[in-house]
Chain A
Amino acid sequence: MKFSAAAADVSFVERADELDEESLVRKTVDNQFYLDIRRRLLSQGAKLLVGPRGTGKTHQMRFVYQECVRDSSKPAAIFSSFSRYVRLEPLLKTSRSASTVFQAWVVAKIALAGFSLLRDIELPADQVERSFTQCFDLASDESERFVSLIESRGGKEVAPPEGLTLGALHLWFDQLLQLSGRTRLVVLLDDAALSMTPEYLVEFFNIFQDLKSPTVSPKASVYPGTSQYGPRLHLRHDVQPINAWLSIEDPAYDETMSKLVEAWSVRLAELPEGVVDLFKYASFGVPRVLMSLLRTFIEGSWGTVQQGVNAVIEQQVELMLAEYESLAQKVPQFGTVINAGAILFNSIADQVADANRQQEDSRQVVIGIAAKDIHTLETRMLRFLVEVGFLYPMSSVKHGDDRAYLRFIPHLAPLIHRRAFQHSSGFSAKKQVAFLRTEHKRQPLRFSLSKLLPNVRLHLDLSRCTRCDTPRLSETQKFCHNCGAELINQSAYEACMALSIDVLPITERQKEALREQFSTIGDIIAAQDPATELRSFGLIGQRRAANIAEKAQKYVDEYFS
């Protein structure tokens, strides 16, 4: 059967940055959870919007921006995304001025976002340009040129214009407030997780701190699991977190997810009973996953409901694993740690699935891992799992000093895939949902790390000497301890260029479309260079090719973000 009726008037767009303004507003949910997020984004003070990919961080930020553009009683807002920070990663390995270039890039992005705001509230263009030039001693199109040079060529041999300083940015903020007639400014910085380059992360949050003023409140979106924003920024002290990731244990979970499905105008009545509810749990608080589950189910044709649900969930689990495994390409020094994380997660999922299969009256999805086993690399491993959304972190509990437990909820999709909540041989989405709605046990399932991950010794994977292939002894080592040759730091970003597009965590159908034009990630990046873009597409199918290229670049940006 095919649920074509439901599909007919549904258009799913999974990324907020692909939505036009009107549908963005139409598809925004107004319940308590999201209203709260937006209220706090608009409020005073520095804040971090925390959630894994797909939880709606970009959506909420863009919505807040639109709101501020339309409503002159609201503060002024500017919105800018930093997902392309990774283009500057190779510079770190070759140039001492990397952080200067990075800072100029960040300042330019924020400055230009302010420029867009003034344009969006329809101020006269020449006036806006004049005050921009006054502040930065630089025309806006020159700043744009600088930004696009950085984003296409990575900043090698690009000297940042001198005017792009924090001081000038604050002058520009004053101008913005004056020109727009607002009393304060909210600076929305999207994709600020900068997960591949801790060096830039620290630099970024230094700038973040410097943006703060009585009239300026910076807000940045980041992934959970990071707490190392550098010596100048302490979470909960200098900056408050806003949680964008709704826990399945939250009383508002079901209502919030239902509101989302409503906003996408899916005809629920035409879907088999229980399926949407089961998908709500399988999405684990991530709207993008829920959307993708529904879409794949509706668009596919399945022999039975059971077959459809199983296939859709299985594909989702595979995509999540692919996304997780792609981390190892991005931070190769943690390859072993990341692989061990996958083993750990599977082991957790097996244990939790077993425990739930054995009891019919109460579910048990919270786990506790003894904190005494958690050292640096173990922490890093758990952080990776939290970052991609495999583990939902809860506050830790302590039973005396040496019996502290870190508590997590593992992602439900792999559990559903393991039939953790199915107590009879017959498939019933409804029954699984009913079980998931039962009271949960008070005590978490407790484990020691050695039980979940036996015989694994975590270590860093340090790169080898390019001459004699001896692995390094430490990350900071500068010469090979075997042959004495200089050790060259390789850029992880540049190494990723040669990877096939198969590594992107996207569906087979999406990959097929990409294969028409690209074979490696490097091809996609190269197409972003305005010089090659025009050359590579013929006249026929130019629009379609350009569309695919645009999509491809979004996937790549996402892959590196």
Chain B
Amino acid sequence: MSAADSAGKKSRSSEWVLQATITQPMAPFCSEEAIDPDLEVDHRSAIDQFVATIEALNVVLSRHSRREAAVAAKSSSVPEPEEDRLDSLFAIDPSPDDAESSPSVAQEADWPGAGASVVTEPASAEGSSAWCEDDVTLQLNNLVFLGYMSAVESYFRCLTRQLIWADEFTAEAVQDVKITFGAARHAEPGLLPEVLMEDMTFITLDSVKDLLVKVIGIGMERITDLIKEYDRICQLRHCIVHRFGRLGSKNAMKLGFGTHRTLLERKIKIRSAQLEALAFNLLNFVKAINNHIYSGVMKRSAEESLEWQWDADNDSAAFERLYSVFRQTTSPGASADTERAYADFKDKCEKGSATQVQRAKQARKA
């Protein structure tokens, strides 16, 4: 019976597929339904959007941990008891004389906690928190970490797009980049720069370097170390995205084979405290990048553009256009207001600016 059945099938189609897994029929996924049709271009600065995303992810985490372990959080906030000996609590007992203390006294006065605690404390703290975190939390931590990484990438993309509109020199640098016809035909003009970056990623050292050097054109000195650190964090991302969260040999090499050799193919488990540290580092990395690009772009503009008149009334529109690209409007950590930022810009960049040079030349002629 079954032989006949299969014979029939065979006759119907000659493509015989070996099945190792059992499949169920699936309907095509309507991706358009998963996307909100209302076009809301987010006009907030890249940094604002980035910070908001990080915060939203933090809320996800804390909702989870609140449900999981209000108790665990409480116990971790109580500091470890100190290892002080009673006698060394208060540094007042006069020692009898100057004669260098005898070995036995020195022995007794030796302070058990200090030296050792520095070495063991972090280890024990990590150890204890590692074991009270269950697999669900660890899994969620990895996913939230990916969310943080994607926020960083989105920041780069968003910033570049806004900068191309705001800064003529960046726009100039990308003039020769080719874009596809389809994208050019359908994209709203405001989103066109986004199309430029369709083939770019910002998750490796080289890609960030290219962005800073080739696209924006301000170089990367002074922040090379930061980008290297970011590249190391990216290795963790690659492992989670591409290898079920296990450490690959290429990633291990980039992270430093000395310390990672023995960890090949081991699972990445980001503990909550570490995740917080990663979020903190990524946040500050992006802020540092934001400052670096702001500083470079403004300096270049002052040196090359004749737009700046160096008085607040004339310059305010041009300054606002650029400043709003970099400005964080949300607290805590909100940027200075436009007036103060302009005053600072003028203070640092007016001297030697293109306008000043030109004025000096004219004065000399006259």
Binding site for B on A (CB under 8 A): 39-40, 43, 45, 48, 50, 222, 224-228, 230-231, 234-237, 240-243, 245, 371, 375-377, 379, 382-383, 386, 392-393, 395-396, 404, 406, 460, 462, 466-467, 473-475, 477-488
Contact = CB atoms under 8 A, between A and B. Distances in A.
Size class of the contact patch on chain B: 35 or more
Given A395-B87, A473-B77, A488-B332, A480 B58 contact: yes
18 contacts: A45-B98, A224-B92, A231-B115, A234-B115, A236-B109, A237-B110, A241-B93, A243-B92, A243-B94, A376-B82, A379-B84, A383-B89, A467-B331, A481-B66, A484-B55, A486-B332, A486-B333, A487-B332
B318 interface: no
Contacts of B73: 473, 481
Given A466-B331, A485-B55, A227 B90 contact: yes
Nearest to A371: B86
B92 A483 contact: no
Contacts of A228: 114
A372 to B, nearest CB: 11
B303 interface: no
A227 B332 contact: no
Interface stretch (B10-18, B257-265, B276-284): B276-284
A224 B90 contact: yes
Contacts of A222: 91
B101 interface: yes
B106 interface: yes
A240 B92 contact: no
A281 B130 CA distance: 56
Interface of B: 51, 54-59, 62, 65-66, 73-74, 76-77, 79-82, 84, 86-95, 98, 100-101, 105-106, 109-111, 114-115, 117-118, 276-277, 279-280, 283, 331-333
A237 B82 contact: no
Contacts of B87: 395-396
Given A240-B98, A383-B90, 16 more contacts: A40-B98, A48-B91, A227-B91, A235-B88, A235-B111, A237-B109, A237-B111, A241-B95, A242-B94, A376-B79, A376-B82, A383-B89, A473-B77, A474-B77, A482-B62, A485-B58
A352 B111 CA distance: 33
* Most interface-central of A235, A245, A467, A477 (chain B CB within 10 A): A235
Contact of B58 (A43, A45, A393, A479): A479
A478 B91 contact: no
Contacts of B105: 236
A13 B138 CA distance: 64
A236 B89 CA distance: 12
* Most interface-central of A39, A228, A406 (chain B CB within 10 A): A228
Given A224-B92, A243-B94, A234 B82 contact: no
A231 B118 contact: yes
B109 A478 contact: no
A240 B80 contact: no
Contacts of A488: 332-333
Contacts of A393: 89-90, 92
A382 B276 CA distance: 34
Given A225-B90, A243-B93, A479-B276, A474 B55 contact: no
